[in-house]
Structure 1
Amino acid sequence: MILPIGTRVTAADGVTLPKIGDRITDKSAPPDDGAVREWIGPKAFGYWTELRNWIVEFYPGVFAPDWLYGGRNRGWSLRYKKTRAFCTLVPEYRLFSAVVVMGGAEREKFEERRYVWRPHLVKLYDEAKTYIDGKWLTVAISSAGDLHDVAELLTLKRPPPSRG
C-alpha cells in the first residue's frame, strides 16, 4: 500500500514514525554528522557535506557554523552568519533545505538575472514571503542543480573574498 506524502505512520509498538520533512527535535544536544546523516539519508547527506565544504572553500575563515534550536516545531538548524545571516541549513527527514534571506540589494540582483535562473528557483522566489528583513527563500536540495542554485544565490548575496 502506498500512503500519501505526509501521512503519519504508527509502528506496532505505538511509536509514531517520522515523515518526510520532519525536523530533528531532540533538544538534549545539537546533532552530530552521524545523526544528520542517519536523519536526512546518505544521498542528501552527500549534498549537505558538499555545500558545507563549498562554504569553507569559498569563504575560508569567514563563518563559524552555529547550531540553533528552534523549538519542537522547527527543531535544529545550522546557521552560517558573520555580521548578517548568510544561510541556514535545515536537516529534515530524508532531505535538507537551505534558507537564504534575500535583502533588497540581493532581490534587485536576482531580478536582473531573472531569466538566467532555473524556472524552479524563480517559482520558489516568486512564492516566498517577503518580510521586513527580506525574502526568505527556502530551497530543498535534492539534486546537483539545486546545490548549484544555492551556491549561486550565496555568491550573489556575498561575493567570495578574492583568493589571490
Structure 2
Amino acid sequence: MLGALGRRSIRLAGGAIPALSTLLLGMVGLLPIDVGGLTRITPLLAAIAVHYWSVFRPDLLPPWAAFAIGLMLDLASGGLVGLYAFVFVLLAGYASSQRRVLSGDSFVTGWAGFAVVMVAVSLLEWTMASLVRGAPMPAGASAVQSLLTVALYPPLFLLLGRAQLSLLRES
C-alpha cells in the first residue's frame, strides 16, 4: 500500500505525461521522412499533442509549457527560432477556447478543427520562411507536412487518449 508521499509522487509523475508526450512526439517528428523528390518532410506531431492536451487537459499543458516545448523543438530542428513556440501558444489558446466544440461527441469535429488549424500553421510557416529567405518558398513541402500531420491525428489521438486514461487511473 502506498503512503501519502508515494501517491503524491505518482500524481506528480502522471501530471508530467502531457508535457513529456508532447516533447517526445516533437522529437520523433524531427525524424525526416523522404517523400519522393520533395525536401525531407517532417510531420508536426507535437502539434497534435498540444491540440489534444489543450482540449482535454489544459490544466496539465499550460501555454508556457507549450511555448517551452516549441522553443526546444525550434532549437533542435535548426529552423526559425521562436516559430514553433509561437505556433504552439496560438494552438493551445485556440484549442482551449474551443474546448466545448472540439471535445464534443464527434471525433470528426475535433479532427476537422485540427485540420483547419494545420492549414493556418502551414501558411504561417510558409510565410515566415519566405520572409526570412526574401523570396517565396515552394509551398509543396508545407502542404505535404500539413496533410501528413492531419493524417496522423487519428492514431495519435488514440495513443494520447490511452495516456489520459492511465493518468486518470493514477489520480
Give the TM-score taking structure 2 as reference length: 0.27
Give the TM-score taking structure 1 as reference length: 0.28
Larger RCO, structures 1/2 (Cα 8 Å, 6+ apart): 2
Please identify which structure carries the higher strand content: 1
